[in-house]
Structure 1
Amino acid sequence: MSKAIHQALRASWWLASRPRGPRCRDLGLSNAGLENRVFYRSAHSRATEYLQMHDPDLTDSQRTVREAVAKICSDFPDEYWAKQEESKKFPTQLYDALAKDGWLGICMPSKYGGSELGISEAAIMMQTISESGGGMTAASSVHMNIFGLEPVVKFGSEEQREKYLVPLIAGKERACFGVTEPNTGLDTLRLQTRAVRDGDDYLVTGSKIWISTAQNAQKILLLARTTPLEEVTKPSQGLSLFYTDLDPKVVEITEIPKMGRAAVDTNMLFYNDWRIPASDRIGAENEGFKMIMHGMNAERILIGAEALGLGYAALRRAAVYAGERTVFGRSIGKNQAIQHPLADSWMQLEAARLMIYQAAKMYDQGYQAGEYANAGKYLAAEAAFRACERAVMCHGGMGYAKEYHVERYLREVFIPRLAPVSREMICNYIGERVLGLPKSY
């Protein structure tokens, strides 16, 4: 655990164990201090505050993470993110700042430099990063570090963990995630990348699509088929996982122009007889699918938290604008046509937030089924989309201007609605696994 995170959490543990209520007088607190704590326990915070800290359901550990990460994010305002998008430059400054204080290893084992905290703390970190105004751009720049290498943590050898986790946590290496393919999409079991053993190496041929940060990554976590589909009993068999160097001299990396999040690249990858050392294979051959699945619920929780952050950022800007903008001699915030949709969005975001953090809590306690992680991601993405759309409409014509940033939020909020799994596939999951209905696809 980094020194910065350790000190922050020590402070939170002291806060958690200290006397509460009137007994605070025994600690020498002033009446003002006591009154502030009473107020803190009984009053809600305003959604117009910058990264407010007063959600009453947060644990002391979550609140400490939020405060520490918010402090870093305060150096990267909306103007910074607008500039990064315009220049299409990867946000290395934020990445380095988070790495410096050890946040890139928040869920990783302390043995390798991580902080060994839970998904509950990681989710609040990612929500905070997004909510600061960085949105999906900021979140995506570090997303892979947070839980992407969980298959290496769980299934890699000690030598691999030492070799791969230490530089990733320290921010010295970046990684990307190589699963989705052009011809298969969400039908992962039928992916067509083929890896054939050749002595001490594998020769890998195929393609991947929607690979974020590949232009800036040194490593890739790659899923490939090592046994042909027609030779396995079940489609989930015969897939193997590799964590290897991403060499642009060997792999053709083509950036995909897209609607938003221009500062974090998204790419198409092509490779033919790409030679990958067998020592870069994670775990046993042909068992890669179960390794990838191990972290899927965590990814949905984190994506949902990132969506929430973007929704809250949009709502904050809309509420401030509605309170300040005067038309026909009165604040537009006095009009229920403005006020009620924003109030509705706050309720939707809060409902989704409670679902997301319930899913995170259950995950940290060992719950393995995916209904709450999937449902939380679905609800968060939808609530965030509605909040961003309403923020643009609240601003009127100025909502279409880059100056107010809400148009950027709206463009980015489509990402959690589409990835890493679509709304329709989540409904399929709930329909089959929870409602007991027949498979519909």
Structure 2
Amino acid sequence: MDFSLTFEQKALVEALTTFVEKELYPHEDIVEELRAVPPDIAQDIKQKAKEAGFIAMNMPAELGGGGLDYQTLAQVERVMGKPSTALSLLVKRPTKILLACKGDQIEEYLMPCIRGEKLDCFALTEPHAGSDARAIRTSARRDGNDWVINGVKQFISHADAADFIILNAVTGEDETPNGRRKRFTVFLVDRDTPGVTITPMKSICTRGYNPNMIYFEDVRVPNSKILGEEGNGFNFANDWLYSGRVMLAAHCTGRAERVFDMACDWAANRKAFGKTIGEFQGTGFKISDMAIDIRLALLMVQEAAWKMDEGTLTRHEASMVNLFASEMVGRVTDNAVQIFGGMGVMEDFPIQRFWRDARVERIWEGTSEIHRDVISRDILKQYRQ
């Protein structure tokens, strides 16, 4: 298979890179200091991204989106992984499960997201249900033509800035050959719906792109707020998780590339004992390891994106690329801190931010332990007699 970029892909990567370096990089320090993107800066970036045609690149062209395939989207995420996460996600790529919108939902939720007028957030994780997503307890009880929602969601990124919540809740139980199983349904819940309370959580990483608690207390929504059909919530979740894991890997690869460039520049110019520190094996070997790690991650991302376009990506393959890339960016940023020495942990230098931000990549979109469990279980299935 040939993973070389087409002329169109190269042009997009170059244009997006120029946009990121000009419009996003200059604001990273203020976002880090304030733990938020100032509203005027956020609005300016959104408007410029919209004018440049960078909004909703992952959505179908016939609906006004970019219509990009997964291989091209992986290159987009690779570029968008380089700036601050909070700034990167102002160039919005809406959650693709919104394509299941129907009827009035299309103009109320889907199209405003594609036009960059509304922002969504996806709410699955709960205090008692992180990696074990099927353990969620947030429930929706039918009451006439309405549903009454009660429960708590946790670690919901960008909920404080979102216009509405894509909520996965339990709507009953079904009898299965393996016993009774929860039935999951996805709802579209406006953040200003009575009974919804959003409380920010403080994180040491990805400042400005903050996790939140969402509390639902007797939140009443009409039946028309169900996305898709009642009971198919986990089908949506799985679709979201597969693409999310590959794109996270692309994001990590781009972040690692930026850190690698900074580390190489430092190693090639910083002198000690009469020569550059890159000439010492202790540093040079780190550079070699970082380069190999990044190359392998990129190849895994490209193959996984190609398989997504082909419709052949398996669950454990999605876990493989997520696991490797998320741990890779951790190794790369840790080596970068060591190469920069004391300056690597100074707040005046961005290396410490990349190091902190890299840590969460091994947790969200599935922990390293969960991915290893998925990979081993799926592989061993074929050996069981």
Fold match, TM over 0.5? yes
Q: Partner of 2:57 in structure 1? A: 106
After TM superposition, list the pairs within 5 Å mapping 1:303-314 onto structure 2: 303-314=248-259
Q: CA offset at residue 79 of structure 1?
A: 4.5
Three-state SS of the structure 1 residue aligned to 2:55 is: helix
d(CA) in 2 for partners of 1:240, 1:268? 20
Q: Report the equivalent of 2:72.
A: 121
1:72 aligns with 2:19: yes
Residues 195 and 224, structure 1, Cα contact 8 Å, conserved in 2: yes
Amino acid at match of 2:54: W
Asked if 2 retains the 8 angstrom alpha-carbon contact of 1:85 and 1:263, the reply is yes
User: Residues 395, 76 of structure 1: CA spacing in aligned structure 2 closer, same or farther, 3 A cutoff?
Assistant: farther
Q: Report the CA distance shift for 1:106/1:281 in structure 2 as closer, same or farther (over 3 A).
A: same
**Compared CA separation, residues 266 and 162, structure 1 to 2 (3 A):** same
Match of 1:361 in 2: 306
Calculate the aligned-residue CA RMSD, in Å: 2.4
In 2: Cα distance, 1:96 partner to 1:199 partner = 42
Equivalent residue for 2:198?
253
Alignment of 1:101-250 (within 5 A): 101-131=52-82, 134-142=83-91, 145-146=92-93, 148=95, 150-153=96-99, 155-228=100-173, 237-247=182-192, 250=195
Higher alpha-carbon deviation: 57-66 or 226-235:
226-235
Whether the 8 Å contact between 2:94 and 2:113 is mirrored in structure 1 is no
Q: Which residues of structure 1 form unaligned runs of 5+?
A: 1-54
Query: Cα–Cα, structure 1 residues 396 and 293, in superposed 2: closer, same or farther, change >3 Å?
Result: same
Once the 2 structures are TM-superposed, how far is the Cα of residue 110 of structure 1 from its aligned partner?
2.1
Partner of 2:31: 84
CA distance in structure 1 between the partners assigned to 2:186 and 2:193 by the alignment: 20
Change (3 A) 1:311 1:187: same
Q: State the 1:355 CA deviation.
A: 0.5
Decide whether the 8 Å contact of 1:147 with 1:298 is kept in 2: no
User: Percent identity over the alignment?
Assistant: 26
Q: Which amino acid aligns with 2:356?
A: R
What is the alpha-carbon distance in structure 2 between the residues aligned to residue 361 and residue 159 of structure 1? 34
Distance in 1 between residues matched to 2:25 and 2:15, nearest whole Å: 19
Give the 3-state SS of the residue equivalent to 2:216 in structure 1.
Answer: strand
Who wins on radius of gyration, i.e. which is larger? 1
Q: Distance in 2 between matches of 1:361 and 1:413?
A: 25
Distance 2:371 2:86 in 1: 24
Cα drift, residue 382 of structure 1: 1.2
AA aligned to 1:84 is V
Query: Which residue is equivalent to 1:349?
Result: 294
* Equivalence for 1:403: 348
1:283-322 aligned at under 5 Å gives the runs 283-322=228-267
Alignment of 1:357-396 (within 5 A): 357-396=302-341
Decide whether aligned partners of structure 1 residues 340 and 248 sit closer, same or farther in structure 2, where only a CA change above 3 A counts.
Answer: farther
CA distance, structure 2, for counterparts of residue 128 and residue 205 of structure 1: 39
Q: Which residue of 2 aligns with 1:52?
A: none
- TM-score, normalised to structure 2, is 0.92
236-245 or 426-435, larger mean C-alpha shift: 236-245
* Alpha-carbon distance between aligned partners in 1 of 2:360 and 2:168, rounded to the nearest angstrom: 22
Aligned to 2:227: 282
* Equivalent residues of 1:122, 1:146 under 8 A apart: no
1:420 Cα deviation from its structure 2 partner: 1.0
1:60 corresponds in structure 2 to 7
* Partners of 2:188 and 2:211 in 1: CA distance: 19
- Number of matched residues? 379
Alpha carbons of structure 1 residues 96 and 136: separation in structure 2 relative to 1, 3 Å: same
Q: Which moved more, 1:255-264 or 1:106-115?
A: 106-115
Aligned residue in 2 for 1:23: none
Aligned residue for 2:162, secondary structure, equals coil
Pair 1:76–1:391, CA change in 2 (3 A): farther
User: Are residues 75 and 179 of structure 1, via their aligned partners in 2, closer, same or farther at CA, if it must alter by over 3 Å?
Assistant: same
TM-score by length of 1: 0.80
Structure 2 gaps of 5+ residues are none
